């Protein structure tokens, strides 16, 4: 029985996919929900002229708008009902998670289990609504003044009514996406919010491929550059898959216990992920670095005197462009800083060492308590150095390639990390469902044989 189960687990494949009816239903539900998301990205916000908006958006590319537009699948560029996407929820989630690791009352709430998790999730939703309202108001106000210098008006009828209607619609769009993400998580496959972000990024892939090969056909991009570019993307994807799965496993030993075979010591492992911070550092670093660039771009359109202020703004825009040495340096430093900061927040060596001590576990050769906490901090710091170097390479290399080749690479480092991480996680969940289905069939057969005997 055990050997047969092990054989099934080791040879797990998609061969029995056709028999897993529940899994197929979950996959079809996920695909249907993502199609609804894509349809919503083309529903325009009331009171906005999409043609003029598209013209104005092309004039301010390169700022933080591009980052948000990528995550929303082009919804921000078209100013649809879901223009804000799920970014307000992601931001609120990060803030609540950081606060739960720093604030005593929220830290106690975090330790209450399922009830505490629901309460923190409720705070996250309140924060998402608040951020949607603030961002929606500033977005509506900015749309009214958008293109004033060029004589274009993106809003048909500016005023208080337009701002209120825009805020209500943007809040409703984001909340609907969160509900859709929850439905995918509970009735589909994978994490719903992550799949929505990935779908928005992947939706721009056909346009990018078409532009890439069109450049090859017209001769603006050489065939060698295209092949080298495709090879680099494949190599980065394989590298990300390897690094995201990499772990440092620490041996944990427990006191000897009596069993049928005599006194035996229980052993387990404490896995420390190489990239504990996941995709948080690139997102934070991109947002903070592109924010001044966006502000200076809008300021440049309003500065018409051509004086010292205008000259300073032009210089900032020049040095902070994608691929410039100053931009790449600040981007790399931001990723490294947030790697160590976020890892220190989400993983507490003292708390982990205390839990091991309470359960009687210890690391061989290391005394329980403070010595264990110091050792965990020692190991975590060194693997975080490798993780920070890995994230820096994956995020900075595409930016450098864009600058050198002139290829408009929409699939930057942050987007590539999100796509690969979500894809790997979704495939793992599909395999888990298949494994559970095969084990269920095995148990049924075993019970049937037992009854026959």
- pLDDT digit string, tens, across residues 294-306: 555 555 544 444 5
pLDDT tens digits, residue range 340-360?
Answer: 988 887 888 888 888 888 888
Q: Provide the 3-class DSSP secondary structure of residue 62.
A: coil
Confidence grade of residue 262 (pLDDT, cut at 50, 70, 90): low
Q: What is residue 7's predicted lDDT score, i.e. its pLDDT? A: 46
Q: What is residue 57's predicted lDDT score, i.e. its pLDDT? A: 66
- Mean pLDDT across 417-444: 77
- Asked whether the predicted pLDDT for residue 81 surpasses 80, the reply is yes
Cα radius of gyration (the chain): 26
* Helix orientation angle between 280-302 and 413-452, rounded to the nearest 10 degrees: 150
Are 289 and 396 spatial neighbours (Cβ–Cβ below 8 Å)?
no
- Asked whether the predicted pLDDT for residue 406 surpasses 80, the reply is no
List beta partners, residue 287: none
Q: Which of 29-38, 237-246, 358-367, 427-436 has the highest mean pLDDT?
A: 29-38
Half-sphere exposure of 225 (CA within 13 A, CB side): 17
Q: 72-76, 118-122, 152-156: lowest mean pLDDT where?
A: 72-76
C-alpha to C-alpha distance for 345 and 351, rounded to whole angstroms:
12
List beta partners, residue 104: none
Q: 11-20, 84-93, 140-149, 172-181: lowest mean pLDDT where?
A: 11-20
* Helix orientation angle between 413-452 and 64-71, rounded to the nearest 10 degrees: 20
CATH class of 17-204: mainly alpha
How many angstroms separate the Cα of 90 from the Cα of each of 97, 129, 194, 405? 10, 12, 10, 33
C-alpha to C-alpha distance for 44 and 82, rounded to whole angstroms:
9
- Asked whether the predicted pLDDT for residue 443 surpasses 70, the reply is no
- Mean pLDDT across 227-236: 83
Selected residue with higher pLDDT from 212 and 147:
212
Residue 285 CB: number of other CB atoms within 10 A?
25
Identify which of 285, 269, 297, 234 has the alpha carbon closest to the alpha carbon of residue 392. 285
Q: What is residue 349's predicted lDDT score, i.e. its pLDDT? A: 87
Query: Which pTM was predicted?
Result: 0.75
C-alpha to C-alpha distance for 350 and 213, rounded to whole angstroms:
54
Contacts of 42 (CB under 8 A, 6+ apart): 78, 80
Confidence grade of residue 110 (pLDDT, cut at 50, 70, 90): confident
Selected residue with higher pLDDT from 366 and 55:
366
Q: Per residue, what are the HEC states of 59-84? A: HCCCCHHHHHHHHCCCHHHHCECCCC
Tokens of 293: 């660039």
pLDDT tens digits, residue range 372-384?
Answer: 889 999 999 999 9
- Mean pLDDT across 248-277: 75
C-alpha to C-alpha distance for 302 and 140, rounded to whole angstroms:
18
Selected residue with higher pLDDT from 3 and 420:
420
Q: What is residue 10's predicted lDDT score, i.e. its pLDDT? A: 42
Half-sphere exposure of 312 (CA within 13 A, CB side): 6
> Left (φ > 0), alpha (ψ -120 to 50) or beta: where does 73 sit?
left
- Asked whether the predicted pLDDT for residue 8 surpasses 60, the reply is no
**Residue 142 host element (H or E):** helix 114-145
Identify which of 140, 142, 120 has the alpha carbon closest to the alpha carbon of residue 63. 142
List beta partners, residue 251: 269
Query: Exposed, middle or buried by CB within 10 Å (0-12, 13-18, 19+), for 153?
Result: middle
Q: What is residue 29's predicted lDDT score, i.e. its pLDDT? A: 92
Q: What is residue 35's predicted lDDT score, i.e. its pLDDT? A: 92
Average pLDDT score over the chain: 77
Q: 54-68, 117-131, 351-365: lowest mean pLDDT where?
A: 54-68
Are 398 and 412 spatial neighbours (Cβ–Cβ below 8 Å)?
yes
List beta partners, residue 362: 253
Would you give the end-to-end CA distance of the chain in angstroms?
16
């Amino acid at each position: 029985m055990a050997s047969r189960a092990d054989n099934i687990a080791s040879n797990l494949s998609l061969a029995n996919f056709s028999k897993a009816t529940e899994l197929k239903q979950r996959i079809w539900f996920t695909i249907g929900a993502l199609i609804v998301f894509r349809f919503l990205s083309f529903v325009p916000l009331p009171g906005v002229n999409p043609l003029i908006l598209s013209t104005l958006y092309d004039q301010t590319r390169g700022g933080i708008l591009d980052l948000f537009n990528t995550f929303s699948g082009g919804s921000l560029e078209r100013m649809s009902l879901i223009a804000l996407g799920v970014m307000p929820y992601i931001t609120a989630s990060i803030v609540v998670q950081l606060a739960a690791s720093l604030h005593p009352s929220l830290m106690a709430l975090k330790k209450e289990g399922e009830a505490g998790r629901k309460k923190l999730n409720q705070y996250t939703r309140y924060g998402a609504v608040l951020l949607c309202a603030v961002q929606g108001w500033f977005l509506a106000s900015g749309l009214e003044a958008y293109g004033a210098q060029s004589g274009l008006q993106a809003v048909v009828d500016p005023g208080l009514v337009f701002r209120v209607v825009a805020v209500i619609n943007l809040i409703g769009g984001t909340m609907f996406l969160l509900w859709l993400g929850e439905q995918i998580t509970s009735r589909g496959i994978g994490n719903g919010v992550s799949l929505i972000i990935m779908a928005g990024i992947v939706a721009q892939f056909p346009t990018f491929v078409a532009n890439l090969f069109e450049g090859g056909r017209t001769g603006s991009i050489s065939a060698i550059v295209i092949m080298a570019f495709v090879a680099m993307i494949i190599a980065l994807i394989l590298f990300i898959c390897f690094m995201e799965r990499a772990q440092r496993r620490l041996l944990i030993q427990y006191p000897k216990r009596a069993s049928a075979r005599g006194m035996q010591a229980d052993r387990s492992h404490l896995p420390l992920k190489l990239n504990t911070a996941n995709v948080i550092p690139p997102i934070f670093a991109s947002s903070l670095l592109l924010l001044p660039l966006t502000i200076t771009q809008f300021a440049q359109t309003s500065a018409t005197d051509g004086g010292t202020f205008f000259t300073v703004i032009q210089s900032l825009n020049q040095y902070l462009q994608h691929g410039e040495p100053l931009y790449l340096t600040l981007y790399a430093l931001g990723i490294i800083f947030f790697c160590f900061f976020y890892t220190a927040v989400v993983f507490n060596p003292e708390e982990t060492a205390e839990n091991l001590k309470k359960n009687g576990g210890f690391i061989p050769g290391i005394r329980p308590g403070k010595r264990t906490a110091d050792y965990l901090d020692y190991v975590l710091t060194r693997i975080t150095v490798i993780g920070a170097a890995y994230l820096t390479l994956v995020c900075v290399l595409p930016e450098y390639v864009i600058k050198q080749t002139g290829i408009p690479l929409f699939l930057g480092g942050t987007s590539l990390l999100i796509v690969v991480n979500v894809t790997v996680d979704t495939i793992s969940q599909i395999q888990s469902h298949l494994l559970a289905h095969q084990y269920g069939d095995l148990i049924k057969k075993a019970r049937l044989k037992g009854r026959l005997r």
